[in-house]
Amino acid sequence: MLVMLCKPYNNDIDMFGETMPENRVTRITGIGSALVDILTNESDAFLTALGKEKGGMTLVEDRDIQQILIETTQTPVVVPGGAACNTIVGVGNLGGDARFIGRRGNDAHGQTFEELVANCNVEPLVSISDSPTGKVLSVITPDAQRSMFTFLGASTELDPALISPDMFKDTAISMIEGYLLFNKDLMMAALTAAKAAGSLIALDLASFEVVNASREILEDIVKDFVDILIANEDEAKAYTGHADEQKAIEKLSEQASYAVLKLGERGSYISHQGHITRIHAQQGNAPIDTTGAGDLWAAGFLFGIAHGFPIEKSGKIASACGYEVCQVMGAHLPQDAWSRIKELI
């Protein structure tokens, strides 16, 4: 099985090759699902034989994924996955100080996950379960459609009682995965620990289904804990009730110090200190796959904010990350793409 590795970076050197001040805290710590993404290219006939309708996501058992891997004729690519993990791996690849908190299985996939994360310049704080590592198998057909088979496994077993402020020590920004809203105890443990450690808290709303399902607790969580609120159009509409993007960003800006409205190929709005900045999307080739675009956008933006860059520069980094990930299959960029991002900056 082919494994995609990242090139380690030196935490003492920033992306411009300049030594960072010793007293500057720039670490970004993420907490969320520790999943292994397994990507394989296959034919339409292969997918049909599996009885899977093209596109979408199907929850399956671990044995189902193992059987599909036996049947595939291709060599899969394995990369670390999960929304918060994608963001934190992006931060690490930008040369940032990055940490990820999650839970994996005591198996080969779990060991691969932890090694890949570490090789992307991320410190893994990953506890180990007797359950199998969570994984997402994506069967990619010739039309670039992704049909996903998901087994959450050990990723759902992160114990709220084990989450402590020490996990967020020396952290500038804590990235809390929006999907944790489905586990209220874990979400509150993460928010409380990050707040006690003195970091800013960033929350990506994850999906409009998450917003709708957690409405009962979401507004209070944002009001009491969140400093950086990130949403796409559908999530913003579900949260604010406004389809109009100007009204949506204004409403979001009432909720957090930094409010972000992502508009895909139309760019984004970023609100801070009463000022709304329009960030244009990077132009270029048509997208191949938008998987991970929001996660990598967040990586670039949070990296910029943690390093004290102006809103415009942070947004430019974010747009470059979002554009580049749309030029590849999956949520992980090759090193030449990271080089292009740095050249643009």
In a domain, 2, yes or no: no
In a domain, 233, yes or no: yes
Q: How high does pLDDT run on average in the chain?
A: 89
pLDDT at 7 over 60: no
| C-alpha closest to that of 333 among 35, 93, 78 | 93
What is the predicted pLDDT for the residue at 22? 55
d(CA 268, CA 270): 7
pLDDT single digits (tens) 268-323: 999 999 999 999 999 899 888 777 889 999 999 999 999 999 999 999 999 999 99
SS3 30: strand
CB 182, CB 316: distance < 8 Å? no
In a domain, 1, yes or no: no
Question: pTM of this prediction?
Answer: 0.86
d(CA 300, CA 152): 27
What is the predicted pLDDT for the residue at 6? 57
| C-alpha closest to that of 226 among 255, 250, 198 | 255
In a domain, 17, yes or no: no
CB 187, CB 168: distance < 8 Å? no
In a domain, 212, yes or no: yes
In a domain, 301, yes or no: yes
SS3 104: strand
d(CA 82, CA 65): 17
Contacts of 312 (CB under 8 A, 6+ apart): 277, 279
Q: Which residue has the tokens 């759902």?
A: 156
Write the DSSP symbol of residue 254.
T
- When pLDDT is averaged across residues 13-31 and rounded to a whole number, the result is 68
- List beta partners, residue 151: 135
CATH of the domain at 229: 3.40.1190.20
In a domain, 13, yes or no: no
pLDDT single digits (tens) 183-219: 999 999 999 999 999 999 999 998 888 899 999 999 9
| C-alpha closest to that of 79 among 115, 106, 54, 103 | 115
C-beta neighbour count of 282 within 10 angstroms:
18
What is the predicted pLDDT for the residue at 63? 92
Number of folded domains in the chain?
1
In a domain, 146, yes or no: no
> Tokens representing 84?
């918060």
- When pLDDT is averaged across residues 151-166 and rounded to a whole number, the result is 94
d(CA 73, CA 41): 9
Print the domain residue range for 310.
25-34+80-133+153-344
